[in-house]
């Protein structure tokens, strides 16, 4: 039983999203039953109609689940019975409208051999969330690596993403980068990573009021910076903890942090020994990481993340809990090329910004690429609406769609 559990969880569960898999399964039925070797325009239209009807039905299930959630009994909904791990929806999701919009671009209904995929459903959910949140949007938070720029790289100058972020700021929407990168209160290091974006702010001649709506929150939730114009230069200014209400969300002491990091470091070193990998262990004030000297496989990095997660949950006496639900929340995640354990998480980071800016969950959108159980964006689903992208190009695509929706809403 134990062996079978480990196989099922470690090889499958952490690489799946239950809602997306459920929707994908619903869409597979019409694809299989109505597939034809020679698909005409009329057949494509019929396929589109069948898919649209399924999305309309799922839309109704989500609305019912929202109703039960508001009554305090979310497990009573039909969707909760079909997808037991389902969480909270802070807005309606117009899935039928989103499907029709995405299908118009990607021609999903025209495919004869490839059914609607995980990525198709993910992009449709993103579109539905963008449509739903646009009218009341107050805050957009972003992951850094693989969301706004390539992994380990800096934000490039003169990109379309720069223009899209500037457009959000000019619409009086707050923008924040919530990143695992932890450089303490060393603003110049963050400025270096975001040099292209800050140069874009200068080139666009953003006003003091506009740039004051841009934030960077490093170390998941530990180091807050706000953009300002200093001597005609666009700079990041460190915001001390005492200037915002972080104490209620970050109530741990330094000695508790170091104890937790000791456990995480020991577990990462054990992973290095067990798997005989060549890697360096880096210790920071509020994080510890495994940085390979040679490329590791995703499975090896997942092993490091999951091993560290379980060790820290056991240490805090809650092996069956989630990393957000223990006395000292943490995030153990596969960063793509490395593995890190951070004190705190992006859930706390997003909530700090929400409290500071008066942005409720239904008006807050987090965009990131790490929403599997070994990713550090997953926890934000508890605090706000989300869009799951896989690279900066997809971020650009969803922001372009969001800008179009915002433009239409103002007409």
Q: Active-site positions?
A: 143, 145
Both tokens of 266, joined, read: 């020991």
Who contacts 263 (Cβ-Cβ below 8 Å, separation ≥6)?
Answer: 311, 312, 315
CA-wise closest residue to 365 among 69, 178, 142:
142
Q: Let me know: does 93 contact 59? Beta carbons within 8 Å.
A: yes
- Residue 205 DSSP class: T
Who contacts 168 (Cβ-Cβ below 8 Å, separation ≥6)?
Answer: 140, 175, 399
Q: Let me know: does 214 contact 237? Beta carbons within 8 Å.
A: no
CA distance 332 to 49: 43
CA-wise closest residue to 123 among 149, 141, 140, 104:
104
Both tokens of 320, joined, read: 């069956």
CA distance 200 to 229: 13
CA distance 349 to 144: 14
What backbone torsions phi and psi does residue 344 show, to the nearest 5 degrees? Answer: 85, 180
């Amino acid at each position: 039983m134990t062996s079978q559990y480990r196989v099922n969880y470690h090889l499958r569960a952490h690489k799946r999203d239950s809602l997306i898999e459920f929707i994908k399964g619903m869409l597979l039925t019409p694809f299989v039953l109505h597939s034809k070797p020679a698909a005409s325009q009329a057949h494509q239209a019929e396929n589109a109609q069948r898919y649209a009807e399924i999305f309309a039905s799922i839309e109704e299930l989500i609305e019912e689940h929202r109703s039960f959630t508001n009554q305090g009994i979310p497990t009573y909904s039909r969707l909760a019975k079909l997808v037991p791990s389902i969480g909270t929806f802070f807005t309606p999701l117009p899935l039928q409208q989103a499907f029709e919009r995405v299908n118009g671009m990607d021609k999903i209904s025209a495919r004869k051999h490839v059914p609607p995929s995980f990525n198709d459903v993910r992009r449709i959910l993103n579109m539905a969330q963008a449509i739903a949140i646009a009218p009341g949007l107050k805050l957009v938070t972003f992951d850094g690596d693989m969301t706004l720029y390539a992994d380990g790289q800096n934000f490039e100058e003169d990109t379309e993403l720069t223009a899209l972020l500037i457009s959000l700021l000019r619409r009086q929407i707050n923008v924040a980068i919530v990143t695992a990168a932890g450089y303490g209160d060393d603003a110049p290091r963050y400025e270096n990573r975001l040099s292209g974006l800050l140069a874009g702010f200068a080139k666009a001649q953003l006003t003091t009021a506009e740039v004051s709506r841009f934030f960077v929150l490093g170390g998941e939730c530990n180091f807050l910076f706000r953009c300002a114009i200093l001597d005609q230069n666009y700079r990041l200014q460190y915001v001390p903890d005492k200037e915002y209400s972080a104490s209620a969300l970050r109530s741990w002491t330094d000695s508790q942090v170091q104890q937790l990091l000791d456990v995480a470091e020991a577990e990462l070193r054990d992973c290095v020994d067990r798997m005989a990998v060549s890697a360096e262990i880096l210790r920071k004030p509020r994080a510890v990481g495994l940085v390979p000297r040679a490329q590791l496989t995703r499975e090896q990095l997942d092993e490091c993340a999951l091993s560290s997660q379980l060790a820290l949950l056991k240490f805090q006496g809650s092996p069956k809990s989630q990393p957000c639900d223990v006395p000292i929340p943490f995030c153990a995640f596969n960063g793509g090329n490395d593995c890190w354990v951070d004190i705190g998480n992006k859930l706390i980071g997003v909530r700090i910004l929400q409290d500071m800016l008066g942005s409720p969950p239904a008006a807050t959108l987090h965009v990131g690429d790490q929403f599997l159980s070994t990713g550090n964006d997953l926890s934000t689903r508890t605090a706000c609406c989300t869009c799951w992208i896989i690279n900066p190009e997809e971020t650009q695509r969803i922001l372009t769609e969001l800008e179009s929706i915002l433009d239409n809403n103002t007409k």
